[in-house]
Amino acid sequence: MTTGTEQGVLCAPRRPQAGAVGVSSAYGTFGELLQGALPDRAEGDFLVTLPIARWATATFRTSDDPATLEVVPRHKKKALRLVSMILADLPSPVGGRLTIDSTLPEGKGLASSSADLVATARAVGNALGVAMPPRRIEVYLARIEPTDGVLYPGIVAFQHRSVRLLARLGSLPPMAVVSVDEGGAVDTVDFNRIPKPFTAAHKSEYADLLERLSDAVAHHDLAAVGAVATRSAQLNQMLRHKWALAPLLDVCRDAGGLGIVTSHSGTTLGILLDPADPAYPHRLAATAQACEELTGNVTVYRTLSFPEMG
């Protein structure tokens, strides 16, 4: 049995052996179904995840030389910092090599950094024989950057700035996201430093949207989910304007899509489609063609479903 505290010394059941290997993965999220701020909360900023079938996989191999600590690719500095923090909490010094493989594009608002970090924490824990429950991971990540709630299965409301779970909403049937990228990249840390001009009326609307979204997820009402996501994308224009939103709304309406989902702090946005719809093949082809004509690029993502959550 492993023991340890959230911020104290981590106690492994054995001294880590050189060459011990831990592997773990974490999925990304296509932007957020909803992101804003709630009234009457010290930490009102929140987001709601939309898990997608793209992953970051971390592999950590221990070394008996504590001076040896490296990451591949070398630019994954945040993941390396996380490893250093975890190893610093061990009673005995340990080194190692972290390798990250990811199918998530960086700087686009798909939680690539969060997935890297969650996969890294779990992989290091596996290699060391140390439990890494969500709350322990949250404590580490809060010292690095605002984080998406990808360490929890299903769709969750998450306080990304304080890195705490707000609520588990459940799971949805699979959807397709026909996505466009406006180009460039966004630094999540810099974005979250931007003052949010939310009024009391905005916060009240976000609270209503969260309630509507919670009910929609509980009842697997994809149309209602799409309506909330669309409104959140529109509200986010005051923080990060996306020129493609207005024409995509027209494409979504013409193709019979469910709604628009955006990466509130990224460069991507997409049209939600229901694969169970008999007209799905036609809607997918029409939507993809229109998106390609609009921006010169299109990518189709698949959302993850978690049947065990009901």
What is the pLDDT tens value at each position of the chain, 310 positions in all? 233 444 555 655 556 677 899 999 999 999 999 999 999 776 789 999 999 999 999 999 999 888 899 999 999 999 999 999 999 998 888 999 999 999 999 999 999 999 999 999 999 999 999 999 999 999 999 999 999 999 999 999 999 999 999 999 999 999 999 999 999 887 776 777 777 888 999 999 999 999 999 999 999 999 999 999 999 999 999 999 999 999 999 999 999 999 999 999 999 999 999 999 999 999 999 999 999 999 999 999 999 999 877 5
Walk me through the domains of the chain, giving residue ranges and CATH numbers.
3-142 (3.30.230.10), 170-309 (3.30.70.890)
Sequence length of the chain is 310
Give the pLDDT confidence score for residue 190 in this predicted structure.
74
Give the pLDDT confidence score for residue 64 in this predicted structure.
83
Contacts of 33 (CB under 8 A, 6+ apart): 48, 49, 50, 155, 213, 225, 228, 229, 232, 261
Helix (H, G, I), strand (E, B), or coil: what is residue 280?
Answer: helix
> To which residue do tokens 């049947």 refer?
307
Give the pLDDT confidence score for residue 15 in this predicted structure.
63
Cβ(115)–Cβ(56) below 8 Å: yes
Give the pLDDT confidence score for residue 35 in this predicted structure.
97
Helix (H, G, I), strand (E, B), or coil: what is residue 160?
Answer: coil
Give the pLDDT confidence score for residue 4 in this predicted structure.
40
Cα distances from 153 to residues 99, 121, 172, in angstroms, run 24, 16, 12
First to last CA, the chain: 31
Give the pLDDT confidence score for residue 10 in this predicted structure.
65
Residue 292: what residue type?
E
Give the pLDDT confidence score for residue 18 in this predicted structure.
77
Give the pLDDT confidence score for residue 186 in this predicted structure.
76
- Report the alpha-carbon distance of residue 108 to residue 187 in Å, rounded: 9
Give the pLDDT confidence score for residue 3 in this predicted structure.
34
Q: Report pTM.
A: 0.92
Give the pLDDT confidence score for residue 16 in this predicted structure.
67
